[in-house]
Structure 1
Amino acid sequence: MTDQRSKPKVEYTICHNPATGEILGQSPLTSVEELKHIVAKAQIAQKTWAVLPVKERAEYMRRVRDYLTENSKKIVEVISQDNGKTRVDGLAAEVLPAAIAVDYYIRHARKFLKSRHLFPGNILLLNKLSKIVRVPYGVVGVISPWNYPFSIPFSEVVMALLAGNAVVLKTASETQMVGRELEECILAAELPEGIFNYVNIPGRLAGTAFLQNGIDKLFFTGSVAVGRKLMREASDTLTPLVLELGGNDAMMVCEDADLYRTTSGAVWA
């Protein structure tokens, strides 16, 4: 007889189509305790990933690019249903920029990441040798928003992986189906285990949970208020942050503005 009490209860985020209310699917929630173990495993896996030549890491990203281009129609459909963008907007503002970004970083990764010598700044330093060496941070956390749920985190994940880091990605609760599609896109490269990790932690907990559980750098896109909070918390451990902060601003419309263009712009923004 199986003891049902030994099995932890799995909770989910239920995803809805914002236009119809239709249930699109569900995404398992990640606990803070699970995140702790995920980061610990990523720290171990990253050491092996970091010593791979840039050329080999770029080859993995080529697989990501190929999957993205071959499955662009499916990805656009998921973005449209889960986020509410039109298919044209999903292609033009999400999938196409992601494809351009990954191709750009693949082509330039070796140049961006190679070591280089520095010439002495004055005559007193002629007997000195200075060199810039690119060293991965370790485990990079990415917390991304609902409004551009594919293109924003995709570029950040690709950059971090190419530079030799492991990644833990948390996308917005409102667009978990897009997040899971992005996860599938990255995992199509068949990366070594532990290098890319997808988590679904409630937004109110995510930033603090990342910073308190061993993340070496954090990308955050969200509100100014949360960005300030994360800066304060990151200062305790001197964890580097990359913040893109925004909010809801008033729209000023002049009396002689074209009404159709104004309303169209307001809806798009």
Structure 2
Amino acid sequence: MALETSRNAFFIGGEWVKPASDRRFELINATTEQLIGHVPEGSEADIDRAVAAARRAFEVGEWANASAAQRSEIMLRYFAVLQKRAGDVAAAVSMQNGMPIALSGPFEAGLSFGLLAYYAQLAAALPGDETRESQMGKSTEVSRAPLGVVAAIVPWNFPVVLAMSKIGPALAAGCTLVIKPSPGTVLDSYVLAEAALEAGVPPGVINWVAADREVGAYLVSHPGVDKVAFTGSTAAGRAIARTCGELLRPVSLELGGKSASIILDDADIGAVAQGLPMTSLMNNGQTCYACTRILAPASRYKEIVDAIASTASSLVVGNPLDAQTHVGPMASSLHRQRVEGFIAKGKAEGGKVVAGGGRPKGTERGWFVQPTVFADVSNSSTVAREEIFGPVLAIIPYNDEAEAIRLANDSVYGLGGSVWSTDPTRASRVAKQVQTGTIGINGYVPSVGSPFGGIKASGLGRELGPEAIGGYQQFKSTYVMG
């Protein structure tokens, strides 16, 4: 079916609802810089209506009274319908944020749907109440219940995967959701909503309202919300954490990163170069866990710099809807300016550009930035400290293994990372010493079945894996004394 690029309603309570105001978001194609269409911009009144619909669905009706097995069945129906719309989802994301279609297909329209199926299977097998021994009484009955209405705030870089990483465990637990997508990637949420309607997801279980930051802040503080699940910048996460802290409201925060790749002195440099596009430059560098700090042993520094620069320079930059494209445009003009500002800062601080450094030739339109590699930089330089969120890498030398670990840990962030070595035991030993929530050995790809999240300024809580469901549940202990 053809992808609609202009919309006039929000998905609230299982229906297409007229917005409370006539404000609209313009949607711009990141490659052509041309207008794609318009969608409504949500207001506080739209949020009120969506939260009320989610509350009704949670407290009364089909979803509120569903068993774990019934919730699982509904989720699997939703999964089956989504699979038929994979092409529309991938195209919508790539048009809006510049993600190469070679990535949006398997990730936004593959992995994301798989998340729903994964949590549907877990939902069917969720443990019920259990009885435990009690020291003072006869026993304790421990029960689990869904937290309630979830406010899910989703960024523009992986809009579908990051929505489903909240929808899946929330639905498995029995919660309902109000989802606020980023104004930069809205069309995909309409495809997800259409699929929910076709699959018979009960009214009010999932609601979508696109809005700006101010209305998003209203959602976070709404009295009808029981939990907030946010993915985005560390600065925005801190603001949300302050609000939730004041309200004593549960919150999960998946925030920024400045992850390090530690290349040990015995590493296969060919394997490092081959893994670079996924590990460090995935989604045009617009990936929170991207390993954009490359720590290279001084004894092999030039060899590593040359290999990484060669690989970065060989990547095809162009139209993200072309399957041969490795690197598409930045998601917006403003974001490209931000990335280019960091490149200028890196040059001003004495960094040596060994690949890229500007805009690719032949791209008069589109928010493109060349994959850029800096050499001869220290871990204290701006390009090694700040999350650039673009295709910009800094290669930093180290003298020994202990220094490599120290440099990797010398960051306010702790989200991802990787260790490269031909000795798996050595790599594992080094990986265990890196202060981070996740790390890969000779590569990096998050696993659906394992918890994902950060430490330090990279966030609170975990998504993915069975552990994520616990973040949408509350536990109650009943002490049986006689």
* 301, 306, 310: which one aligns with 1:260: 310
1:3 corresponds in structure 2 to none
Structure 1 counterpart of 2:38, one-letter code:
Q
Aligned residue in 2 for 1:32: 44
- The aligned amino acid for 1:240 is P
- Is 1:227 the equivalent of 2:227? no
Question: Which consecutive residues of structure 1, in runs of 5 or more, have no partner in the other structure?
Answer: 1-6
The CA RMSD over aligned residues, in Å, is: 2.4
1:64 maps to which residue?
Answer: 78
Match of 2:108 in 1: 94
| CA deviations over 1:202-233 (Å, ceiling 9, x no partner) | 02430343323421001001111111111111
Deviations 1:58-80 (CA, angstroms, capped at 9, x unpaired): 11111211012122122212122
Contact 2:44 2:218 in 1 (8 A): no
Q: CA deviation at 1:33?
A: 2.2
Give the stretch that moved more between structures: 63-72 or 187-196: 187-196
- Provide TM-score, normalisation by structure 2: 0.50
Q: Within the alignment, does 1:22 sit opposite 2:34 as a pair?
A: yes
Aligned equivalents of 1:248, 1:181: Cα separation in 2: 32
State the Cα deviation string for residues 184-219 of structure 1 (Å, max 9, x = none).
Answer: 233332222222110111024303433234210010
From the superposition, tell whether residues 8 and 169 of structure 1 become closer, same or farther in structure 2 (CA, over 3 Å). closer
Please state if 1:150 is matched with 2:200: no
**Cα displacement string for residues 21-48 of structure 1 (whole angstroms, at most 9, x for unaligned residues):** 2322221111112212321232122112
Greater percentage in helix: 1
Structure 1: how far apart are the matches of 2:194 and 2:258? Answer: 31
In structure 2, the partner of 1:161 is: 171
8 Å contact kept, 2:90–2:109: yes
2:131 is matched with which residue? Answer: 117
Partner of 1:4: none
| Matches of 1:56 and 1:184, distance apart in 2 | 21
| Partner Cα separation in structure 2 for residue 187 and residue 268 of structure 1 | 38
Structure of higher RCO (CA pairs closer than 8 Å, 6+ residues apart): 1
* Structure with bigger gyration radius: 2
Instruction: For 2:196, give the aligned amino acid.
Output: I
From 196, 203, 209, the counterpart of 2:213: 203
Q: In 1, Cα distance between the equivalents of 2:141 and 2:112?
A: 33
- SS at 1:246's partner residue? coil
8 Å Cα contact 1:63/1:188 also seen in 2: no
Q: Which amino acid in the other structure matches residue 125 of structure 2?
A: K
Change (3 A) 1:92 1:260: farther
CA 1:177 to 1:248, structure 2 compared with 1: closer, same or farther past 3 Å?
Answer: farther
Is the 1:43–1:166 Cα contact (8 Å) retained in structure 2?
Answer: yes
Query: Are residues 1:182 and 2:192 paired?
Result: yes
Cα distance change, pair 8–97 in 1 and its aligned pair in 2 (3 A): closer
Amino-acid identity (%): 26
Equivalent residue for 1:41?
53
The letter of the residue matching 1:95 is: A
The structure-2 alpha-carbon separation of the partners of 1:32 and 1:69, relative to structure 1 and needing over 3 Å to count, comes to same
User: For 1:240 and 1:141, how far apart are their aligned partners in 2?
Assistant: 11
Q: Which whole-Å CA distance do the structure 2 matches of 1:27 and 1:245 have between them?
A: 27
Structure-2 separation of matches of 1:208 and 1:186: 25
Q: Give structure 2 stretches of 5+ with no counterpart.
A: 1-18, 260-290, 295-300, 316-370, 373-389, 393-482
CA contact (8 A) 2:220 2:240 kept: no
Look up the match of 1:12: 24
